[in-house]
Structure 1
Amino acid sequence: MIVSKKATDTHAMLAAAYNTGDIDTVLSMYDVNGIIVAAPGSPVSGKEQFTDAVKAILAIKGKMEIKTVYCLQSGDVAVGRSEWSITEGDETKVSAKGVEVMKQQADDTWKVLIDHAFGAEAGLTV
């Protein structure tokens, strides 16, 4: 299982989880009662919809990389800004600028509570 022990490591651990290709590993990085926006304008919540959103991302074959632009933590909550991409060889399949809210769990690991994969894109209004 992949876990994040520091808020600042969550982006890297999330990319590592996606790169396993295993749905359960990826879902373990999230609080599925939170929100994921895997496609612009399509926020979802709850385990079933979260699973569908993650499956759609996993269907994009390639390697995910997530660069942390910043991560600000206050107590057991953190907000991060990311730049992420999925590439295969020289081809970039998708890339975007995201915003994530992370929450520290009782076992001191961090889970993503809100993942807006396109949340920092220019001109985004929703």
Structure 2
Amino acid sequence: MNLPTRAADAHAALAAAFNTGDVATVLNMYDFDGIIVPEPGKPVSGKDAFEEAIKSILSIRGTMEIKTVYCLQTGNLAVGRSEWNITDGEEVKVSAKGIELMRQQPDGTWKILIDHAFGAMENITV
């Protein structure tokens, strides 16, 4: 899997990685120095915790779609706001609004440093 070379492409790259169903491919999108919030109120960090969170998300069978609401970049950091869902045919299994912080890597590609998958939902807690 090729990592995005533009921060604005990180959401599409993450959805494409998810849709492979391959944990390693999805994990490649993340910077393990960061945080992922796979469930409201349950932030985790570190490679092992990231892997457990990704496996949990991948256990939701379906197709992920991510719409980029905005992506603002300054230097090697970017913040994105997303609206995403996982569907299986007509059934919507998960639908949420997220906030992501991305960091450019030394090779020019972008990885997600903080992924608060539900961070833009109303009445959400960290």
TM-score (norm 2): 0.98
- Contact 1:63-1:88 at 8 Å conserved across structures: yes
Deviation at 1:124, TM superposition (A): 1.5
8 A contact 2:23–2:54 mirrored in 1: yes
Q: Do residues 26 (structure 1) and 26 (structure 2) align? A: yes
Paired with 2:2 and 2:58, the residues of 1 have a C-alpha distance of 16
Aligned to 2:108: 108
What is residue 52 of structure 2 aligned with on the other side? 52
Cα shift at 1:33: 1.8
> CA separation in 2, counterparts of 1:62 and 1:37?
20
Deviations 1:77-98 (A, max 9, x none): 0000000000000000001000
**1:38 equivalent in structure 2:** 38
RMSD between aligned residues: 0.6
Kindly provide the CA deviation profile for residues 1-37 of structure 1, in whole angstroms up to 9, marking residues without a partner as x.
2311100000000000000000000000000121000
Tell which deviates more after alignment, 101-110 or 116-125.
116-125
Structure 1 contact 2–25 (Cα < 8 Å) conserved:
no
- Where 1:112 maps in the other structure, the secondary structure is strand
List 4+ stretches of structure 1 deviating above 3 A: none
- The gaps in structure 1 that reach 5 residues or longer are none
Look up the match of 2:62: 62
Contact 2:70 2:80 in 1 (8 A): yes
TM-score scaled by length of structure 1: 0.98
**Structure 2 unaligned residues grouped into runs of 5+:** none
1:82 is matched with 82
Deviation at 1:125, TM superposition (A): 3.3
Q: Is the CA contact (8 Å cut-off) linking 2:40 and 2:125 kept in structure 1?
A: no
Distance in 2 separating the partners of 1:105 and 1:51? 20
Distance of 2:125 and 2:13 partners within structure 1:
29
Percent of aligned positions that are identical: 66
Q: Aligned residues, how many?
A: 126
